[in-house]
Amino acid sequence: MKELIIATKNKGKMKDFIGLFEPFGIKVYSLSDLSEPVEDIEETGTTFQENAAIKAEAVCRMFNIPVIADDSGIEIDALNGAPGVYSARYAGEAKDDLANLEKVLDELKGVPEEQRTGRFVCVLAIAQPGQKTIFKRGECEGTIGDQAIGEHGFGYDPIFYPAGSSRTMAELTLEEKNQISHRKNALDKIENWVKQL
Ligand SMILES: O=P(O)(O)OP(=O)(O)OP(=O)(O)OC[C@H]1O[C@@H](n2cnc3c(O)ncnc32)[C@H](O)[C@@H]1O
Ligand SMILES: [Mg+2]
């Protein structure tokens, strides 16, 4: 079976990716699955693209094989695009999903439904030895609810209603999320690269 390293330690993202790569017959490994431990990579960029490059290129250098990284987050219009690139640490360094979404709900208190628009964004970076890094961006438009609902997914999924859905992203099954997500939309754009692996 073909194999690919994803430069992430996020278990929720990895679940998405395992499902997304399965149809291609590719087994994906996260940085937590490797026998050699990989230290945390500092995300010093100010854009999704910069951080995706930092993660993909660092791990590509370590193993000298092609690596994909995902930098993603949620942009909320009423918060001027926040949490954005800082989505993982919005409520502090602990990277606490529940604290993050509670902070968003707090900041959106009193904001009417029609102004609660936003989107998930995912930038994928493909780093390959001796080649220029490739980037593709995927988005998923939606609205932010006023309470957390649903048990699936991770991060901000329980407060995000994908456009046209009466269920939050966390009420969708993995298969349903993987048909419409920002991650799926970005992956669609590198399908040809994935197929030639
Ligand atoms: O950098 P890695 O190790 O991949 O893991 P991370 O969690 O730090 O990942 P990011 O830096 O890309 O930050 C992404 C954050 O955006 C949010 N997020 C991204 N994709 C999401 C999704 O599909 N559903 C819900 N929240 C998501 C969630 O809070 C993530 O922690
Ligand atoms: Mg990160």
Summarize pLDDT for 122-178 with one digit per residue, the tens.
Answer: 999 999 999 999 999 999 999 999 999 999 999 999 999 999 999 999 999 999 999
Closest ligand 1 atom to Cα of 90: 29
Catalytic: 40? no
Instruction: Kindly state the average pLDDT of the residues 94-112.
Output: 98
In this structure, which ligand is nearest to the CA of 73? 1
pLDDT, residue 143, reads 98
- Quote the ligand 1 centre to 88 CA distance (angstroms): 5
pLDDT at 56 over 90: yes
pLDDT digits (tens, 9 = 90+) for 68-79: 999 999 999 999
- Judge contact between 148 and 101, C-beta under 8 A: yes
ipTM of the complex: 0.99
Distances (CA, A) of 34 to 9, 66, 155, 185, 197: 11, 15, 24, 27, 20
pTM, rounded to two decimals = 0.98
Residue 156 annotated as binding site: yes
pLDDT digits (tens, 9 = 90+) for 7-37: 999 999 999 999 999 999 999 999 999 998 8
Structure tokens at 59: 């791990």
pLDDT, residue 13, reads 98
Confidence label for 41 from pLDDT (cuts 50, 70 and 90): very high
Q: Return all residues near 79 (Cβ < 8 A) that are at least 6 apart.
A: 104, 107, 108
Closest ligand 1 atom to Cα of 88: 31
Enumerate residues lining ligand 1, CB below 6 A.
8-10, 13, 43, 70-74, 87-88, 97, 100, 120, 153-157, 181, 183
Residue 9 annotated as binding site: yes
In this structure, which ligand is nearest to the CA of 91? 1
| Average pLDDT for the chain | 98
Domain 2-195 has CATH 3.40.50.300: no
What residue owns the CA closest to ligand 1's atom 26? 155
pLDDT at 190 over 90: yes
- Of 112, 134, 170, 3, the closest CA to residue 57 belongs to 134
pLDDT, residue 1, reads 86
Catalytic residue among 33, 40, 70, 71: 71
Extents of the domains making up the chain: 2-195
